[in-house]
Amino acid sequence: MFSRKSLTLPPQLDWQHKDEPALAEWSLKARPYNTDIANGIAAFFLIVQIPCLYWLLPSMASDLGDQLLIGGLLYMVVMSGAFSMTHQTTKFAYRLTSSGLEFCEWKEFPEWLPRLLKWAGGITGVAMLMLATVHPAALIGAIAGPGLMGLMYLRMGTSSQFRRMHEQFHQGFHPWTDFTRMIVFRRRAIIGLDFTYFNPMSDEGKGRMIDTDRLLYCRKAQLDDLITIIREQLPESTPYEEAYIPIYA
């Protein structure tokens, strides 16, 4: 058991074996994808903007103060969009019992995002239009920044399909006998448990067994305790190793 307060499960999800005492239970927000690539993309946007703004801003304003204001607004707009793509998180909750591993994962639509884009677009739009009275080239910034943010706001606010694309609710259960191998990726505090399942849709509907894994995200302070608990539940013959776990998502 871990003392950290658990995330409240959404109404779409509930524990199937909640009557069994828990050997351990925890929850957290994690980035379930290759964070090395995502961080590299964010760093690219962070760095490449500087020479681009250095080249663009003199044509938008002659005064240094106006250039810094326009550049700062454009920089924040672009980085907000970049981080919204590269640093998305999913909520995870796990529960270990003597019967097996139960997990819940969900990703709800961020209701704050349309409001943020609405207010940020309005504020930066007003600032850009004020600067346009000093230098007409600032209208380019008003269109490229606040204009695009306004279109994004309208898209998110009116499209139910867009919302469904950004929502995810999933849960499952594995008895301990499912798992054939245990891998620990210490750098990201991830435990991988290999198992196989029958996919009736593979091989043009003929079906076959698929090898895959169940990833458990946790905090580094919990990792060693979880390793001990899980290994006690698995057969002694279950292979164990510590290695890099590729995450394709």
Q: Look at residue 165 in the predicted model and tell me its pLDDT.
A: 53
* Same domain as 161, residue 54: yes
Q: What is the pLDDT along the chain (249 residues), one digit of tens a residue?
A: 555 556 678 888 889 888 999 999 999 999 998 888 888 888 888 888 888 777 777 776 677 777 777 777 777 777 777 787 788 888 999 999 999 999 999 986 666 556 655 665 565 555 555 555 655 555 555 555 555 555 555 555 545 555 555 577 889 999 999 999 999 999 999 999 999 988 777 777 777 888 899 999 999 999 999 999 999 999 989 999 999 998 876
Residue 197, in any domain of the structure: yes
* Same domain as 214, residue 161: no
Count of beta carbons in the 10 Å neighbourhood of residue 127: 19
Q: Look at residue 72 in the predicted model and tell me its pLDDT.
A: 78
* Same domain as 87, residue 192: no
Please state the pTM of the whole predicted model.
Answer: 0.74
* Same domain as 92, residue 30: yes
User: Domain count of the chain?
Assistant: 2
Q: Between β-strands 240-242 and 100-107, what pairing exists: parallel, antiparallel or unpaired?
A: unpaired
Residue 120's domain spans which residues?
24-97+105-165
